[in-house]
């Protein structure tokens, strides 16, 4: 693969599912994110990809699609998703680097990215790559960590943090963990030829004491109502935005799917547990093992 690509946060071998989600009191976050996703994502279609799908927490939201790609850099998290959904022929499990996506141009009707952009060291390059694989007129539902949230504003005014939540550039508060300004996000989506549309503010009540004291169902209801303010102001820690790809452009050729992530040449069928690039100047090979398409590095 291209060694000039930015660093990627690798959850390989992590206990992310059990450490962060299962039994960790995050039912509120899970439910409000699903509400936002349903409001923005077309419920049915042909092809969908989730970028940074992890263990497949949201996979049951995609059952209206004929082909669903769960894409992640971590093979181990994808294996967890496969353990649950592996019997469903709609699902493909693909490991790779999101700066070098292993798909043909114009493939996906819908793209979803939730809770992963905060690991993007070069979000503009990622947006350009996603625009390449988006079908003409396709939808890209993006969630990002909002640096202009109310907590950050109060901390800044109280001299408890040095960086300004009003400055447009991303802030890296921990290595490979970024918060983004809504205006900066919209600007770079537009530069990648997406048209940003409806915005939803999400997780307004992501406060541990509040979640302990107030029933989850009530917090979810209140957050669902507050989400609709997203087109006017963005003060929540999480923001969703629905983007459209231009209706003109290249559509994937029927019967094509994977492309070499290095040279973008269309790949053929799996042979002997591998996909081989037919480009004579490339000829890289990629492993396919027990239903996992592995494009993290060539064989």
- Domain assignment present for 277: no
* Chain-centre distance for alpha carbon 126: 10
- Domain assignment present for 242: yes
The CATH number linked to 70 is 3.40.50.150
Which of 125-129, 164-168, 249-253, 275-279 is least confident? Answer: 249-253
Identify the domain containing residue 41 by its residue range. 16-256
Q: What average pLDDT score do residues 168-174 get?
A: 97
- Domain assignment present for 156: yes
- pLDDT tens digits, residue range 2-60? 457 799 999 999 999 999 999 999 999 999 999 999 999 999 999 999 999 999 999 99
Extract the tokens encoding 76. 């181990």
State how beta strands 108-113 and 285-289 pair.
unpaired
The whole-angstrom separation of Cα 118 and Cα 104 is: 26
| pTM of the model as a whole | 0.96
Q: What average pLDDT score do residues 72-86 get?
A: 97
Binned at pLDDT 50, 70 and 90, residue 1 comes out as very low
Q: What average pLDDT score do residues 178-205 get?
A: 98
Q: How many domains does the chain have?
A: 1
- Domain assignment present for 101: yes
- Domain assignment present for 265: no
- pLDDT tens digits, residue range 130-161? 999 999 999 999 999 999 999 999 999 999 99
Per-residue confidence (pLDDT) for residue 4, from 0 to 100: 72
- Domain assignment present for 190: yes
Is pLDDT above 80 for 73?
A: yes
Per-residue confidence (pLDDT) for residue 156, from 0 to 100: 98
Residue 241, C-beta contacts closer than 8 angstroms, at least 6 positions apart: 141, 142, 143, 144, 182, 185, 186, 189, 196, 197, 198, 199, 200
The whole-angstrom separation of Cα 147 and Cα 188 is: 16
- pLDDT tens digits, residue range 85-136? 999 999 999 999 999 999 999 999 999 999 999 999 999 999 999 999 999 9
- Domain assignment present for 59: yes
Both ends of the chain: CA-CA distance in Å?
11
- Domain assignment present for 33: yes
Q: For the chain, how many residues are written?
A: 299
């Amino acid at each position: 693969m291209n060694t000039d690509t930015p660093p990627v946060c690798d959850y390989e071998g992590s206990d992310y599912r059990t450490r962060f989600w299962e039994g960790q009191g995050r039912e509120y976050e899970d439910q409000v994110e699903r509400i936002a996703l349903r409001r923005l994502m077309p419920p049915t279609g042909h092809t969908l990809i989730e970028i940074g799908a992890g263990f497949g927490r949201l996979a049951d939201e995609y059952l209206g699609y004929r082909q669903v790609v769960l894409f992640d850099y971590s093979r181990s998290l994808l294996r967890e998703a496969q353990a649950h959904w592996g019997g469903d022929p709609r699902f493909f499990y693909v490991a790779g680097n999101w700066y070098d996506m292993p798909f043909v141009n114009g493939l996906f009707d819908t793209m979803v990215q939730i809770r992963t952009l905060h690991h993007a060291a070069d979000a503009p390059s990622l947006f350009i790559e996603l625009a390449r694989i988006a079908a003409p007129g396709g939808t890209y539902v993006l969630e990002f960590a909002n640096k202009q949230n109310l907590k950050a504003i109060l901390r800044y005014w109280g001299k408890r943090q040095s960086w300004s939540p009003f400055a447009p550039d991303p802030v890296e508060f921990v290595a490979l963990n970024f918060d983004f300004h809504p205006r900066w996000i919209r600007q770079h989506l537009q530069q990648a030829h997406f048209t940003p549309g409806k915005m939803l503010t999400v997780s307004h009540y992501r406060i541990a004491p509040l979640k302990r004291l107030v029933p989850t169902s009530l917090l979810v209801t209140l957050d669902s109502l507050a989400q609709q303010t997203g087109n006017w102001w963005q003060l929540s820690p999480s923001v969703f935005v629905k983007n459209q790809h231009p209706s003109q452009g290249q559509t994937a050729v029927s019967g094509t799917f994977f492309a070499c992530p290095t040279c973008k040449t269309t790949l053929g069928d799996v042979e002997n547990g591998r996909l081989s690039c037919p480009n004579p100047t490339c000829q890289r090979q990629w492993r396919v093992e027990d239903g996992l398409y592995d494009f993290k590095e060539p064989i």
